[in-house]
Amino acid sequence: MSNELQVSLSFGKAPAAWGKDALLSFSEGSAKIHLDDNKVLFTQVQTAARTLNTMAIEAIKLIGTGWDNELRWAFSQGFYTAKKGAPVDFGDISESDLEQLTQRKNIIEWVRETVNLGPQALYPELLCEKAVALIESVLPAEQTITYNIIAGEALLEANYQGIYQVGKGSSRAPCLLELDYNPTAEQDAVVDYALVGKGITFDSGGYSLKPSDSMAYMKSDMGGAATLTAALALAIANGLQKRVKLYLCCAENMISNNALKLGDVITYKNGITVEVLNSDAEGRLVLADGLIAAQESNAKRIIDAATLTGAAKMAVGRDYNCILSMDEGLISSAVRCAKSENEKVWRLPLEDFHLKQISSSFADIANIHSGEGMAGASTAAAFLAKFIDQPETNWIHFDLSGSYQVSGNGLWAVGGKGHGVRTISNMLFS
């Protein structure tokens, strides 16, 4: 394309005219990224791409030496915006590498585009259908998946009370997607991983109504469901041969004469009762159903992911995803995989005493912590732990504080980021 800007890499300093230690310099029709070998190359390239993105450049072609697949990927991530995607020609690259990068780009941009859809354009059943379509699009020719979408009153018949109660205030039905990727085709094959994602396609807060500034980006509250769907899709594309079950817990959290009310008590399928003290703590209410279903599958390990708490964002901002678990092996796996995939995770505490901080006078537990000075992200994870038979082992919770960017920064455009997809996808191979 004649309007492409050609971008190359250099480990030499930029000419002084571009400023002291300038990251970028320009000549006619081209730009050069000046890398400092003492700093993280991935971050420098993504930052340069974000800078170029602000210049109304229509398209990019990567040229010259020094580009490996990770640096190409970093550039694509930084150059992306919600309106135009990431029009990047990866340049001189082998056919197999191009196929791998293009597939990764398509999968993670599916997350970004799906998260960025407005709430009128995306509702619970459509999110489930889109998830199925993405997984089907990456399946090898000889493989199939099985799935079931349980919606509306059928949730009550199946006794999935949390999803139903949260979603009953909306005219658009809540639902649970149960999807089985079983490459062995053996009915009794062990389920290596169960993935449980929060899919709140819009969160008004319910009767615990959010202020406008906080509600404006609550179309992104299905980020957990999108992230786990894409993580499974990427793993399949990379040749995963383990059986994985995916559970998406989807609803709109709205206000109506039929909506969930403060003081309501939900009785779950496993007999646990929950007093609702805050209808804006709805994500944990729907995830509880998914965790129950995941355990019924006898999965060896469970990963859940959700845009669950503001407390996680207060702790780490939007640069990291938070992980909480009592299983040191899974924590180590998440940290190792994140590092290898150039993503960021940060461990927050989860201990036995957190499980005692969600007491209720009217039910087994409440859906928020009681008293001052409690750790919001940890007590939210403690709530989920109540629905795990043995929370000390084989379960990890991702609080996806880094999955959505409310305002652009030096690395990311506004909107969905897909941050966390590669980490979790990598974990499925361990």
Catalytic residues: 210, 284
Tokens (6 digits) for 234: 């990427």
Q: What span, in angstroms and rounded, lies between the C-alpha atoms of 200 and 198?
A: 6
DSSP 85: B
Q: Which residues are CB-neighbours of 369 under 8 A, at least 6 positions away?
A: 357, 358, 375, 376, 379
Q: What is the CA radius of gyration of the chain?
A: 22
Closest CA to 318 of 410, 231, 248: 410
Helix%, strand%, coil% for the chain, nearest 5: 35, 20, 45
Q: Which residues are CB-neighbours of 38 under 8 A, at least 6 positions away?
A: none
Three-state DSSP class for 83?
A: coil
DSSP 81: B
Residue pair 221/201 in contact by the 8 Å Cβ criterion: yes
